[in-house]
Homo-oligomer: A and B are copies of this chain.
Amino acid sequence: LVDHGLELLSEEHCLELLQAEQVGRVGVSFGALPAIFPVNYKMHGGDILFRTGEGVKRRAAFEGNVVGFEVDRIDPVNREGWSVMVVGFASLMTAPEIDALGPVDISPWAAGERTNLVRIHPELISGRRITTRM
């Protein structure tokens, strides 16, 4: 089935877009229920890094589970934009891993202690450009 109006992006282009943005959305399952939430992230060595708090559910969700991660830039007025989708394993980074990283400039937005650093290692990367041109 041809999907007119959705141009597939190369993996290289997807990685460039991931490098350039700073806000993404993480998709996880809590039991059978899907959840999506925005995060402030940074790419590092091909992985997606973001900080999170001590939320029990959230923490459990990142213990080696497969998660989705999405970044997009959408212009509803001109009906144009793109989205990049990543699927990968998420893990909480250990203290030695964080030390080995060196300084990482990722602040969470929300105030309060968010010292956990989560890493998503991409296994699948796909992207599409949305256009109203046929």
| Chain A interface residues (CB < 8 Å from chain B) | 1-6, 22-23, 25, 27-29, 32-38, 40, 53-56, 66-70, 72, 74, 76, 79-81, 83, 85, 87, 107-113, 124, 130-134
Contact = CB atoms under 8 A, between A and B. Distances in A.
A34 B83 contact: no
A1, A2, A38, A87 — most chain B CB neighbours (10 Å): A38
Nearest to A112: B4
A68 B70 CA distance: 14
Nearest to A2: B112
Contact of A35 (B68, B107, B109): B68
A3 B53 contact: yes
Given A22-B76, A27-B27, A74-B23, A34 B87 contact: yes
Given A27-B27, A70-B25, A79-B107, A112 B36 contact: no
Given A3-B55, A53-B3, A111-B4, A83 B132 contact: no
Contact of A3 (B83, B85, B112): B112
A62 to B, nearest CB: 13
